[in-house]
Amino acid sequence: MTLKKLSAAQLNKIIDETQAELTRRKNIDAATVEIRSILKKYKIDFQDIDLNIITKTGGKSSTKKRAKVTKSRDQRSTVKAKYKDPNSPATWTGRGRTPAWVQGPLQHALVSGSMTQNKRL
């Protein structure tokens, strides 16, 4: 990229982006220094930290929510598959989103009129 060929607006945009990146890097450096001092204060190695519990929501862990979800899932019984794809080992219980291998033949049957629809409830 040649700077001489850029307009003033393009140059100002590049300057603003560069300044924002420099500010971001300074913040990262300051945070790194602070984190290292905390680790040193509590005599913790970086390897002792479980990075899987740190989320993008400000470092808060959502383990409580996960525990509740898995607990409720454990109480549900598994549903036996009702449909099997003749071309592959794929199965479907009839619940949830209809798989593509079911939708194709179903739409074809509806368009051709081989399946009747009950319009009254």
Q: What are phi and psi of 18, to 5 degrees?
A: -65, -45
Q: What are phi and psi of 92, to 5 degrees?
A: -145, 135
pLDDT, average across residues 42-63: 70
- By the 8 A CB rule, do 38 and 48 touch? no
The whole-number pLDDT of residue 51 equals 75
Estimate the share of the chain in helix, then strand, then coil, as percent rounded to the nearest 5.
55, 5, 40
* pLDDT tens column, 54-86: 765 655 545 555 555 555 556 777 888 888 888
- By the 8 A CB rule, do 94 and 82 touch? yes
Verdict on whether the full-model pTM lies above 0.75: no
- The H-assigned helical ranges of the chain are 8-41, 63-75, 100-112
Can you say whether the dihedral through the CA atoms of 58, 60, 63, 64 is positive or negative? negative
